[in-house]
Amino acid sequence: MRYHSSFRIAVLILIASVIFVACQKEIDWGTAVGDQLLVKIVAKTGSSDSTVTVYSYNAQRKLIKELVNSTAAGMSTQLDLIINRDASGNITSTVQKSPELVAAGIDSLVIRYNYSNNRYTSGVYSLSLMGLSFTDSTLYTYDANGRIISDQHLLKSSLLPLPIPITILKNVYTYSADGKNLVKQEQSAPSTPGGPLSPVSEQTYTYDTKTNPLILLNEAIIMNRTGWFNANNVLVSQLTSTLDPTLNQSFDNTYRYNTANKPDSLFSIQGGQLTTSKFYYQ
């Protein structure tokens, strides 16, 4: 079966964005030493590529902003993520801004979250691009321990032949026996609009026994920052893509730790290329 061309593009964009975020977390994301919070990570690859990630928090020590500046192959990019919270600290919305979005005619990407009964139930964003409209709604499913075990993306778009939202992507999450770390993430998508889901990728993780500098639990899942869920730090991350095997890759990580047993620096190897990261706390 072949993708409807426009539908295939939409699926690839969504899957690629999720995969990109997930694969970057070992070198770009991190955060809190003892009672200190991580405020910056500086990652360098080769002689010229670098990524600087800066984190900001509110008075309740909740993460409210992430600013990423990257330089790769002589080109610079910037991504600003603003996290809005209510008086109880729950996320109400996130706002993503970047010059690249503006250049594409998108001022910002706003995701609004619904929260009830002590859990996030759904998230939704809408945008218009090149005369086309897109609305993506995400529904979250939990296990008996309150962990998100799956999320399902429903897309409604003027480019689709169906006037109702259809499932375009599903993530299934598997956790360690103690529930503290995410050990597998499986993605599935339909090959035609409204068709049945089939596997497209799988990511597996192994961990050290030290403390992850930022632990956001379910907030990490809803913001596509799965590395922030974990109690410990990823040692090996493997991606297997059934949609496009050329995307298959593996990250091997080695850490140096500070006196609080949290990462001080990280050495990550992917495809024979070394990336070094330095963590800063205050």
Residue 244 lies in a domain: yes
pLDDT attached to residue 10:
45
15 closest CA partner among 122, 124, 153: 153
- The answer to pTM > 0.85 is no
CATH number at residue 73: 2.40.160.150
Q: What is the pLDDT of residues 84-117, one digit of tens each?
A: 999 999 999 999 999 988 988 888 999 999 999 9
CA distance 255 to 268: 9
The full length of the chain comes to 282
In a domain, 1, yes or no: no
- 120: containing domain: 7-281
Integer Cα distance of 140 and 15 in angstroms: 17
Q: What is the pLDDT of residue 34?
A: 61
Dihedral, CA atoms, 194, 248, 234, 111, nearest 10 degrees? -30
Q: Is residue 2 part of a domain?
A: no
* Closest of 147, 155, 150 to residue 139, by C-alpha: 150
Domain annotation covers residue 150: yes
Q: For residue 138, is it within any domain?
A: yes
Mean pLDDT for the stretch of residues 127-152: 91
* Distance from C-alpha of 259 to C-alpha of 159, rounded to nearest angstrom: 54
**74 assigned to some structural domain:** yes
**Contact predicate 138/151, CB 8 Å:** yes
* Number of structural domains the chain divides into: 1
pLDDT in tens, 162-214: 667 889 999 999 999 999 999 999 999 998 878 899 999 999 999 999 999 99
Tokens of 121: 């139930």
Residue 218 lies in a domain: yes
Round the average pLDDT of the chain to a whole number and report it. Answer: 87
| pLDDT for position 128 | 81
Instruction: Kindly state the greatest CA–CA separation across the chain.
Output: 58
pLDDT digits (tens, 9 = 90+) for 235-256: 999 999 998 899 999 999 999 9
